[in-house]
Amino acid sequence: MSKAKLEYDSLPYPTVVVVGGGFAGLEIIQGLNGKPYKVLLLDKQNHHCFQPLLYQVATASLSADSIAHPFRRTIAPMANVAFRMCTVQRVDPPAKLIHTDRGDVPYDILIIATGSTTNFFGNHRMEQEAMQLKSISQALDIRSDFLQDFEAALYAQDEAGQRRCLNFIIVGAGPTGVEMAGALAEIRRTVLKREYRELDSDRMQIWLVDSNERVLKSFSEKSSAHALGYLESMGVNVKLGARVASYDGEVVNFQDGSTMEANTLLWAAGVKGVLIPGLEAGEVPKANRYGVDRFNQINGLPDVYALGDVALMSEGQWERGHPQVAPAAIQQAQLLVKNVIRKSKGEAMTPFTYTDKGSMATIGRYKAVVDAGNLHFGGLIAWLGWMFVHLMALVGYRNRLQVLMGWAWKYMSWKNTIRLIIRPYVRRTVQQAVEVPESA
């Protein structure tokens, strides 16, 4: 048994268990590093994923390891922090016990930072058929899917078959949907046109669908208008005020009775918190989040806290909760670290107040929008600002350097270089019309 393990196990401190290694979870363990607590991080993955750049992995601009950072590399220098890879199955608050697939874990303080997952709003068939973008594995599935569609289009017997392979529908015109649509439009203009010369690149159609009346609804009207102009200039078909009723893997049905054929539909129309059985007393069912007080403690559950996407706190202008974005999660985690220490000393805790630092989204090369207070602008400056903020927010210097080099090559060469079908994506219900033998 290693000396490090002996030292951790023998620490005479209260045990703080953090479930989830996203932005909030990492902020907690970094804040409690070196403090008189024994901290245990639980996550079903062994790495932190920088979700704002997942769409670039999905569209072959970045490699998966560019936006992932191993938890053990982060906690290696932290003597009072440990990590266990497991799936949390249930929490027993009265016993202060967490049940996992690898055994039971006791706690003195429990912090839930499980983040969010895709919200299909009860449409189970859509959940089975549509693609989603919340993890690296899903991003790699999307990458393989659109590359396979390009290859399959070459074998299609008629124009209708080609168009079905090259029709990409993105449901949800928030930042994820807008960024995906812009990235696919650039792929059509560069990769498809240059490297698939047998295909008519105009047959590739990108549809961005939303039930709202404008894209980026959470942004200012000025930024929303800028984003719409950028998308349309890149040839993206924007369909607003349209609600998707169903999708069977081949045909999209809208509530107004219209239909559209497509092999690929990406669902980016909403998120919901990842809840854990046993904490039902604090759930707000309609919001799919835990109700928390101004100190992030889950209502009715002493010593159990929730942060970020999974926490619903009413505060000031945020009566329906804070936006489910990284800055809110990080700010809550930073204050919770201070409050936990204050509480242990018998001092009064400080209530949380969210500071909105603005929003930004990129649509394509030299095209981005930024809302920062009363400033609303787009174009090259916004694009450079978006790149700088996201680059500096990455965990680890290696990741920053790798992303910077990847971007430099992409934007200087106009090429998305990571177009490898390493792990082919197999649809659940729709089979390729023509299968290429492995010997081909």
Q: Is residue 250 part of a domain?
A: yes
Q: What is the b/e burial string over 386-408, where b = at least 16 CB atoms within 10 angstroms of the residue's CB?
A: bbeebeeebbeeebbebbeebbe
Q: Is residue 80 part of a domain?
A: no
* Shared-domain flag, residues 390 and 401: yes
- Read off the CATH number of the domain in which 95 is found: 3.50.50.60
Q: How far is CA 147 from CA 59, 96, 183, 207, 234, in A?
A: 9, 48, 14, 18, 20
* Shared-domain flag, residues 205 and 242: yes
* Shared-domain flag, residues 136 and 276: no
* Residue 315: active-site member: no
* Shared-domain flag, residues 321 and 237: no
| Rounded Cα–Cα distance for residues 148 and 351 (Å) | 51
* Shared-domain flag, residues 189 and 326: no
* Shared-domain flag, residues 206 and 306: no
Number of domains in the chain: 2
* Shared-domain flag, residues 393 and 246: yes
* Shared-domain flag, residues 264 and 280: no
Per-residue pLDDT in tens (0 to 9) along the chain, 440 residues: 455 555 777 778 999 999 999 999 999 999 999 999 999 999 999 999 999 999 999 999 889 999 999 999 999 999 999 999 999 999 999 999 999 999 999 999 999 999 999 999 989 999 999 999 999 999 999 999 999 999 999 999 899 999 999 999 999 999 999 999 999 999 999 899 889 999 999 999 999 999 999 999 999 999 999 999 999 999 999 999 999 999 999 999 999 999 999 999 999 998 999 999 999 999 998 889 999 999 999 999 999 999 999 999 999 889 889 999 999 999 999 999 999 999 999 999 999 999 998 999 999 999 999 999 899 999 999 999 999 999 988 887 788 888 888 888 777 666 666 788 888 888 765 444 434 334 33
Q: Is residue 59 part of a domain?
A: no
372: CB partners within 8 A, 6+ apart = 357, 358
* Shared-domain flag, residues 129 and 278: no
* Shared-domain flag, residues 195 and 281: no
Neighbour order of strands in the sheet with 259-261: 244-247, 251-254, 259-261
- Read off the CATH number of the domain in which 394 is found: 3.50.50.100
Q: Is residue 351 part of a domain?
A: no
Q: Helix or strand or coil: residue 99? A: strand
Q: Is residue 225 part of a domain?
A: yes
Q: Is residue 357 part of a domain?
A: no
Tokens 């809208």 belong to 254
Q: Is residue 229 part of a domain?
A: yes
Print the domain residue range for 131.
124-269+365-413
* Shared-domain flag, residues 111 and 132: no
* Shared-domain flag, residues 158 and 278: no
Q: Helix or strand or coil: residue 300? A: coil
Q: Is residue 190 part of a domain?
A: yes
Of 179, 198, 315, 438, which one is the catalytic site residue? 179
